[in-house]
């Protein structure tokens, strides 16, 4: 009887944990009702002495990378936030007692994971060993054995040294700045501080006798932290951070606060190159005027004209080179983002796979125990199961198990769509593509954005649309960009977005139209929409690359991209692709 009771308890615990997991996922994927967290002020805690990540400036106002990142997330997610910066140990206690809702910067560790839940990391923090010029040589943490080391009280390296059984003398300081001051004053042999704050503080405090002896002794993921179980708030910060990475705001903030602290060295090759462009034509022009007589004015004018055209051509070539370099940098960032998305998708797939693997076993276990429970119910009457009468649970448990299985399968489908979207493109990887299926996949990817932007999204697909020859992922990228632009153009949720396909037999083209009832585009801007880095949404983080990249993809597939808009009434974007011939090419 005792063994059967323990088995039943284990079964109920497993069912309860799975219900909570799927329920939390369902909350993040359902946007029909307004989020209660958007109607109250979220208190954001942080360290007042951890520049350049977070600190109080000379006027006592919160500042730094974490603060501006939080403000940007709050803006795109429609949240109200209040900053409360103090001592680090004090802020950790404030999170646990509910005085603050979220910490905007906390390094990940397994121990901390037992008391808080972490967001996806927004930074990677490398810790360094700082020393004086006369400090004993050190190449690793092992070389610090028997030495005195200053570390920030309650910081990740404090936890790490205690956990690893460090044999030296640990000097705890209220702030990282105090740790560096102790080293500079000769009170300790070394200090272990994150490399970016360390270099920032050395510069600001003018600690000229302190330098990073070892630049990387430990690397930790660094992101937002909420009290254990606050999945709803955590998901909002994760979603906001993903939007900022996509629209370029994250990169701008990162470069502003966490870029190279020292100015770049002068590149003399560049100086000589641009100096030659200006000086050499000027010397030639002056020499020509000095040597030629008044009878050669016409020849001088012709030569001057040639030089002017040459300079103009060189400037044009330099401008094209600059634009190409910027596009290459952006392409590299997108490739890195694709790798990150693939990794996150893989991490999500692992627990989802376990859920899908275990649910059938739980369903069989429930069927096997149902007869015993029904017999007990018939003989003894109704009883509580999980705090609910068995007469209700007998029908609810199968329904909950089915819903959990459907939810897990939906997660797996969305993750697979993300992996397909982030997969590295191969220019030669072309095949017969069903445009309707590409559009359905793209709409699944941007479904949360569509639900937030509009109450009316109409999709009309021509089921007899011929297939085209191309790369499905790249065409899907075009559809995603166009739908996102349409959603961003809507002033309120009562305006709609329409996506349709049709076959133009006269031109033998497959046509895709994305139309919105948004604010429209000014006539003078229509011709510049596909220019690289041209955007009318600069203030909201637009980079001006989405339509440029989309136009390039459509052109690579032998198609055309066109725009039509009426200011104040909406816009329509149409792209056409040649259908595949019987020989299998476009």
The most distant pair of C-alpha atoms in the chain lies apart, rounded to whole Å, by 125
Phi, psi values for residue 213, rounded to 5°: -75, -40
If you search the block for the tokens 């910067």, which residue do you land on?
105
Q: Is the pLDDT of residue 24 over 60?
A: no
C-alpha angle 317-322-328 in degrees, rounded to nearest 5: 125
Phi, psi values for residue 510, rounded to 5°: -90, 130
The pairing of beta strand 116-118 with beta strand 80-86: unpaired
Q: Is the pLDDT of residue 370 over 80?
A: yes
Tell me the Ramachandran region of residue 292: left when phi exceeds 0, alpha when psi lies from -120 to 50, beta otherwise: beta
Looking at the fold, whether 417 and 457 belong to one and the same domain comes out as no
Looking at the fold, whether 439 and 571 belong to one and the same domain comes out as yes
Tell me the Ramachandran region of residue 552: left when phi exceeds 0, alpha when psi lies from -120 to 50, beta otherwise: alpha
User: Among 498, 414, 416, 408, which Cα is nearest to 450's?
Assistant: 498
User: CA 141, CA 11: separation in Å to the nearest integer?
Assistant: 47
Q: Is 477 a member of any domain?
A: yes
Looking at the fold, whether 449 and 560 belong to one and the same domain comes out as yes
DSSP tag of 488: H
Q: Is 34 a member of any domain?
A: no
**At which of 205, 222, 239 does a domain end?**
222
Looking at the fold, whether 527 and 564 belong to one and the same domain comes out as yes
Element holding 403 (H helix, E strand)? helix 390-422
Q: Is the pLDDT of residue 11 over 90?
A: no
pLDDT band at 298 (very low <50, low <70, confident <90, very high): confident
The per-residue pLDDT for 527 is 75
Looking at the fold, whether 355 and 394 belong to one and the same domain comes out as yes
Who contacts 256 (Cβ-Cβ below 8 Å, separation ≥6)?
A: 65, 68
User: CA 332, CA 493: separation in Å to the nearest integer?
Assistant: 35
Total domain count for the chain?
Answer: 3
User: Among 162, 209, 215, which Cα is nearest to 192's?
Assistant: 215
The per-residue pLDDT for 302 is 81
C-alpha angle 571-245-32 in degrees, rounded to nearest 5: 60
How high is the mean pLDDT of the chain?
83
Q: Is the pLDDT of residue 31 over 60?
A: no
Which tops the pLDDT comparison, 353 or 238? 238
**At which of 171, 199, 222 does a domain end?**
222
Q: Is the pTM of this model over 0.85?
A: no
Q: Is 12 exposed, middle or buried (0-12, 13-18, 19+ CB in 10 A)?
A: middle
Q: Is 167 a member of any domain?
A: yes
Q: What are the DSSP calls for 381-395, one per residue?
A: ---EETTEEHHHHHH
Element holding 84 (H helix, E strand)? strand 80-86
Q: Is 299 a member of any domain?
A: no
**At which of 222, 254, 274 does a domain end?**
222
Q: Is the pLDDT of residue 180 over 70?
A: yes
pLDDT band at 487 (very low <50, low <70, confident <90, very high): very high
The per-residue pLDDT for 203 is 92
Looking at the fold, whether 441 and 550 belong to one and the same domain comes out as yes
pLDDT band at 385 (very low <50, low <70, confident <90, very high): confident
Q: Work out the percent of the chain whose per-residue pLDDT is above 70.
A: 81
User: Among 166, 145, 160, 226, which Cα is nearest to 194's?
Assistant: 160
- State which residues form the domain around 513: 431-578
pLDDT band at 73 (very low <50, low <70, confident <90, very high): very high
pLDDT in tens, 309-323: 889 888 888 888 887
Q: Is the pLDDT of residue 268 over 80?
A: no
- Is there a contact between 476 and 420 (Cβ–Cβ < 8 Å)? yes
Looking at the fold, whether 440 and 557 belong to one and the same domain comes out as yes
pLDDT in tens, 521-574: 888 887 778 776 666 665 544 555 678 778 888 988 899 899 898 888 899 999
C-alpha angle 42-48-52 in degrees, rounded to nearest 5: 100
Of these ranges, 30-44, 194-208, 546-560, the one predicted with the greatest mean pLDDT is 194-208
Residue 179 belongs to domain with CATH number: 3.40.190.10
């Amino acid at each position: 009887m005792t063994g059967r009771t323990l088995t039943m308890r284990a079964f109920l615990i497993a069912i309860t944990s799975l219900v909570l997991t799927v329920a939390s996922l369902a909350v993040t994927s359902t946007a029909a009702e307004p989020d209660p967290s958007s109607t109250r002020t979220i208190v954001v805690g942080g360290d007042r002495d951890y520049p350049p990540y977070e600190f109080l400036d000379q006027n006592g106002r919160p500042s730094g990378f974490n603060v501006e990142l939080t403000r940007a997330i709050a803006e795109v997610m429609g949240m109200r936030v209040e900053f409360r910066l103090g001592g680090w140990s004090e802020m950790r206690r404030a999170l646990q007692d509910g005085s603050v809702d979220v910490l905007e910067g906390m390094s990940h560790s397994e121990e901390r994971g037992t008391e808080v839940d972490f967001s996806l990391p927004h930074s990677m923090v490398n810790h360094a060993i700082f020393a004086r010029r006369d400090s004993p040589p050190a190449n690793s943490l092992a070389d610090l054995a028997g030495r005195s080391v200053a570390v920030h009280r309650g910081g990740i390296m404090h936890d790490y040294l205690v956990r690893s059984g460090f044999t030296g003398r640990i000097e705890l300081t209220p702030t990282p700045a105090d740790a560096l001051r102790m080293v500079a004053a000769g009170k300790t042999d070394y200090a272990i501080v994150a490399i970016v704050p360390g270099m920032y503080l050395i510069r600001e405090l003018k600690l000229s006798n302190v330098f990073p002896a070892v630049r990387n002794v430990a690397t930790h993921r660094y992101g937002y932290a909420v009290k254990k179980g606050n999945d709803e708030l955590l998901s909002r910060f994760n979603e906001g951070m993903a939007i900022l990475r996509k629209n370029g705001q994250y990169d701008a903030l990162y470069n502003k606060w966490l870029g190279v602290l020292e100015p770049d060295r002068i590149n003399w090759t560049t100086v000589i190159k641009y100096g030659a462009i200006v000086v050499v034509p000027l010397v030639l022009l002056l020499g020509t005027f000095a040597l030629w007589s008044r009878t050669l004015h016409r020849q001088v004018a012709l030569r001057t004209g040639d030089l002017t055209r040459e300079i103009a051509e060189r400037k044009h070539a330099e401008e094209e080179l600059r634009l190409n370099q910027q596009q290459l940098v952006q392409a590299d960032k997108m490739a890195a983002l694709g790798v990150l998305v693939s990794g996150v998708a893989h991490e999500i797939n692992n627990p989802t796979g376990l859920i899908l693997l275990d649910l059938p076993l739980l369903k069989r276990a429930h069927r096997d125990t149902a007869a015993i429970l029904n017999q007990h119910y018939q003989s003894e009457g109704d009883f509580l199961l999980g705090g609910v009468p068995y007469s209700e649970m007998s029908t609810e448990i199968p329904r909950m198990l089915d819903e959990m299985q459907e939810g897990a399968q939906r997660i797996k489908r969305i993750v697979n769509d993300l992996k397909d979207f982030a997969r590295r493109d191969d220019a030669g990887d072309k095949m017969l593509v069903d445009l309707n299926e590409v559009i359905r996949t793209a709409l699944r990817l941007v479904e949360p954005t569509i639900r937030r932007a509009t109450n009316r999204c109409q999709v009309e697909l021509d089921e007899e649309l011929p297939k085209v020859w191309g790369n499905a992922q790249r065409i899907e990228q075009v559809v995603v960009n166009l739908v996102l632009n349409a959603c961003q153009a809507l002033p309120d949720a009562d305006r709609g977005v329409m996506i349709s396909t049709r076959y133009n037999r006269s031109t033998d083209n497959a046509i895709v139209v994305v139309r919105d009832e948004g604010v429209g585009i000014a006539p003078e801007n229509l011709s510049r929409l596909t220019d690289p880095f041209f955007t009318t949404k600069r203030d909201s983080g637009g980079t001006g690359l989405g339509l440029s990249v989309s136009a390039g993809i459509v052109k690579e597939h032998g198609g055309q991209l066109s725009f039509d808009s009426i200011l104040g009434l909406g816009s329509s974007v149409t792209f056409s692709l040649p259908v595949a011939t019987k020989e299998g090419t476009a």
